[in-house]
Structure 1
Amino acid sequence: MAYDQEMSDLASDLFRTFAQVEYCLKVTGYCVAGRGGAANPDWTRFALEMPPLLDEAGEDVVAAISYMQRRPPKKQVYVDDVLQWRIVAPHAENGNDLIFLYVRRVRNNLFHGGKFNGRFFDPERSRELLEHSITILMAAILMSPPMLEAYENRSD
Structure 2
Amino acid sequence: MKDYRIGIEQNLAPIALEFFATFSRFEFALKRGNYAAGDEGKKASPDWISFAGDLGDDFFKQMEAADDARIFFEAPPKRLTIKIGGGVEFTDQDKLTNTQMLLAAVGLVRNNLFHGEKIWVGDRDEALIRASLFVLDSAYAAANAREDMRQVCGAFRYAQINPH
TM-score interval, normalised by the smaller of the two chains: 0.7 to 0.9
Equivalence for 1:155: 160
CA contact under 8 A between 1:64 and 1:133: conserved in structure 2? no
What are the within-5 Å matches in structure 2 for residues 81-96 of structure 1? 81-89=86-94, 95-96=98-99
Normalised by the size of structure 1, how large is the TM-score? 0.79
Q: Secondary structure, in 3 states, of the residue corresponding to 1:84?
A: strand
Q: Which amino acid aligns with 2:128?
A: L
Change (3 A) 1:30 1:10: same
Q: Which amino acid aligns with 2:59?
A: L
The runs of 5 or more residues in structure 1 that have no matched partner are none
Equivalence for 2:112: 109
Q: CA RMSD in A?
A: 2.8
Residue 8 (structure 1) aligned with residue 13 (structure 2)? yes
Q: Which amino acid aligns with 1:128?
A: A
The runs of 5 or more residues in structure 2 that have no matched partner are 1-8, 145-149
Equivalence for 2:137: 138
Change (3 A) 1:114 1:42: same
Q: Number of residue pairs matched?
A: 145
What are the within-5 Å matches in structure 2 for residues 110-129 of structure 1? 110-116=113-119, 119-120=120-121, 123-129=122-128
Q: Deviations over 1:34-77 (max 9, x none)?
A: 697100011001111124324556x9x81233220111100112
CA contact under 8 A between 2:33 and 2:153: conserved in structure 1? no
CA contact under 8 A between 1:25 and 1:31: conserved in structure 2? yes
Work out the CA distance in 1 between the residues paired with 2:11 and 2:71: 21
* One of 28, 40, 44 as aligned partner of 2:49: 44
Give the drift of 1:152. 3.6
Normalised by the size of structure 2, how large is the TM-score? 0.76
Residue 53 (structure 1) aligned with residue 59 (structure 2)? yes
State the identity %. Answer: 25
